[in-house]
Structure 1
Amino acid sequence: MLSILVPIYNYNVYPLVLELHKQCIDCGIHFEILCQDDASESSLNTSNENVNAVSNCSFVSLKENLAHRENRNSLAKQAKFDYLLFIDGDSIIIHDHFIKKYIDNLQDFDVVYGGRLHPEKCPSDNQKLRWKYGRFIEDKSAANRKKKPYQSLLFNNTVIKKDCFNKVKFDTNRKKYGHDDTQLSYQLGLLKSKVNHIENPVKHGDIDTNLVYLNKTKESLENLISLYEEEKIDIEFVRLIQLYHFLKRTKSTFIFSKIHSVFEKYLSQNLTGKNPNLFLFNWFRVGYLCSLNHKN
């Protein structure tokens, strides 16, 4: 029936496994929960080893780092059931009938996405950039997500048929952070896979600090420009690429890259400070994307 796949890096996954295990037992389904730490060598793995004492569950700490995409592919390859639930190790289950809701909504769909939420209050000022972007931009209702079913698809808290996943998989040729969901979702669109969006969110538990998230953003933009240049995604699939393509076609990227170089220090100070501004964050993203086109 259901293989629950939990990629981990330096996080205590044991409480999550216990909750998922309880709900699967309550549903009376055949299941397995596979957890795999990507060579973090974390002291938290002492707690994670307890997963191996729970029925139908396993935890493995890899000796060599695979990176996030290959870790997910590896888990999917090990899975023995027809449906795969990808759920990141830092997710928090917030509903008692989380598993049941998925089971009740699998019919006639290749992919079902439940959504994600961020806490109502930001844990600290040093996490406000990731928290604001998550809460005010990424967190969407199922009704909103259904308007653009492929573009709204993230692969944390997603159930996908194994035979469907095997047709796409995560692109392990890319080693940098970001836009692996974008590429996979685009491929699912090309295959006309049947996607459903439901209200069954998990809470994002491990929110990046401002500086970490800003650096991850740069890396993800580098991945995005690579996907664009290699024609791995359609221009219309990502709004940021639509804008970049327009600026490139009108020969405006040089101007934006120069503006970015002048204001980058100020923007970075705001975005890593106590009250980052999302409007400035968008300006930073556009400017950084344009600057990639004019690096020596």
Structure 2
Amino acid sequence: MLSILITIYNYNLFPLVEELYSQCISCNIDFEILTQDDASNSTLNIENEKINSLPHCSFFVLKENVGYRENKNILVQKSKYDLLLILDGDCKIDNPNFIKNYLNSFENFDGVYGGRIHPEKPFSPKQTLRWKYGKFMEDQSIEQRNKSPYRSFLFNNTLIRKEIFNQVKFDNSFKKYGHDDTLFSFELKKINARLKHIENPVIHDDIDSNIVFYNKTKHSLENLFFLYTTNKIDTNHSKMITLFEKLKLYYLVKPISLIYSVLNPIIEKNLTGNNPKLFWFNVFRLGYFCKLASK
């Protein structure tokens, strides 16, 4: 029936697995919960080993780091059921009907996305950038997601048929953080996968510090630039690339890159400080992407 697959790196997953296990038992279904740490060597894995004590649940530790994408591919290979619920490990579930909602939604669809939301307040000023970006730019209602059902289909909380996943899989040819979902969702669009969006969110519980997220965003933009220059996605599948193409038409890429280079010290100081502004974050993203194109 259902394989729940969760990948982590240096995170205590046991409370989440306990909740999912309890809900699956209540639904009286055949299920398995497979979890996997990507060679973090974390002391938290002592807690994660408790997962193996729960029936139908397993915790694996990879000996070598393979990255976010391949970690998920490996778990899919290990799974035994035809229906996959793929979750990021750094989430929290506060809905007692979370599993039931998915079971009631997948008929006649190849993939179902439940959404993700962020806490009402950041845990710390040092995590404000990631929280603001998530709260005010990533979190979307069903109405917003349905305007672009493929582009807004992410893999932090996704039910998908195994046969469909195996037609696409995560591309591990690029290793840096970011835009895994962008490429995967584009490939789903190419095969005309039947997607559905529902209101069944998880809560993002492990929010990066401002400095970590600032550097991750650079890696993410480098990945997006790679997808763009290698023609792995269409230009209209990414808002950033769509905007970049318009800037190219008016020969504005190089000027924006130069302006970004001048402003970069001010931007970085703001974004890695305790009161980052989304305006500067958007300037940073556009400027850095133009800089990549100007090299």
Residue 113 (structure 1) aligns with:
113
SS in 2 for 1:10: coil
Deviation (angstroms), 1:28 = 0.5
Q: How far did 1:144 drift?
A: 1.6
Quote how far apart the aligned CAs of 1:273 are: 1.3
Where 1:146 maps in the other structure, the secondary structure is helix
Matches within 5 A, 1:15-164: 15-164=15-164
Residue 274 of structure 2 is matched in structure 1 by 274
**How many residues in Structure 1 have an aligned counterpart in Structure 2?**
295
**Distance in 2 separating the partners of 1:248 and 1:232:** 19
Deviations 1:225-251 (A, max 9, x none): 110111111001111101112222332
What is the identity, as a one-letter code, of the residue corresponding to 1:205?
D
- In structure 1, the residue corresponding to 2:7 is in which secondary structure? strand
Aligned to 1:241: 241
Q: Supply the distance in 2 between the matched residues of 1:108 and 1:265 (Cα, whole angstroms).
A: 52
**1: distance between equivalents of 2:254 and 2:116?**
37
Q: Please give the alpha-carbon distance, in whole angstroms, between the structure 2 residues aligned to 1:143 and 1:292.
A: 34
C-alpha distance in structure 2 between counterparts of 1:125 and 1:12, whole Å? 23
Deviation of the 1:141 alpha carbon: 1.2
Structure 1 residue matching 2:208: 3-state secondary structure: coil
Amino acid at match of 2:157: N
- Paired with 1:243 and 1:21, the residues of 2 have a C-alpha distance of 44
Q: For residues 7 and 215 of structure 1, what CA distance do their matches in structure 2 show?
A: 22
If the length of structure 2 is used for normalisation, what is the TM-score? Answer: 0.99
Once the two structures are superposed, residues 68-103 of structure 1 have per-residue CA deviations (whole angstroms, 9 ceiling, x without a partner) of 000000001111001111111111011000000000
Q: Distance in 1 between matches of 2:37 and 2:156?
A: 16
Task: State the AA in 1 paired with 2:210.
Answer: N
Name the CA distance, whole Å, in 1 between partners of 2:165 and 2:256. Answer: 39
Task: Name 1:199's counterpart in structure 2.
Answer: 199
Matched-pair identity in %: 55
What residue number does 1:284 align with? 284
What is the distance in 2 between the residues matched to 1:72 and 1:251?
40
Q: Counterpart of 1:159 in structure 2: which amino acid?
A: L
- Partners of 1:252 and 1:89 in 2: CA distance: 41
Indicate the SS of the match to 1:87. strand
Q: Give the Å deviation of 1:146.
A: 1.1
The CA deviation string for residues 259-292 of structure 1, in whole angstroms up to 9 with x for no partner, is 0100001011111111111111111100000011
- Determine if contact 1:254/1:294 at 8 Å carries over to the other structure: yes
Structure 1: 4+ residue segments shifted above 2 A: 248-251
Query: Equivalent residue of 1:7, what SS?
Result: strand
Is 2:252 the counterpart of 1:252? yes
1:186: Cα distance to partner?
0.5
- Post-superposition Cα deviations, 1:171-209, rounded to whole Å, max 9, x if no partner, equal 010101100100000010111101000000000010000
Deviation by residue 1:35-64 (Cα, 9 ceiling, x = unmatched): 000000000000000100100000011110
Question: Does the aligned pair in 2 maintain the 1:73–1:169 contact within 8 Å?
Answer: yes
**Cα RMSD (Å):** 0.7
TM-score by length of 1: 0.98
- Aligned-partner SS, 1:186: helix
Unaligned residue ranges in structure 2 (runs of 5+) = none
How many angstroms apart in 1 are the aligned matches of 2:138 and 2:202?
13
Instruction: Report the 3-state secondary structure (helix = DSSP H, G, I; strand = E; otherwise coil) of the residue aligned with 1:58.
Output: strand
Q: Which blocks of at least 5 consecutive residues in structure 1 are unaligned? A: none
Asked if the contact 1:2–1:30 (Cα under 8 Å) also holds between the matched residues in 2, the reply is yes
Q: How many angstroms apart in 2 are the aligned matches of 1:100 and 1:91?
A: 18
Deviations 1:113-135 (A, max 9, x none): 00001000110100000000000
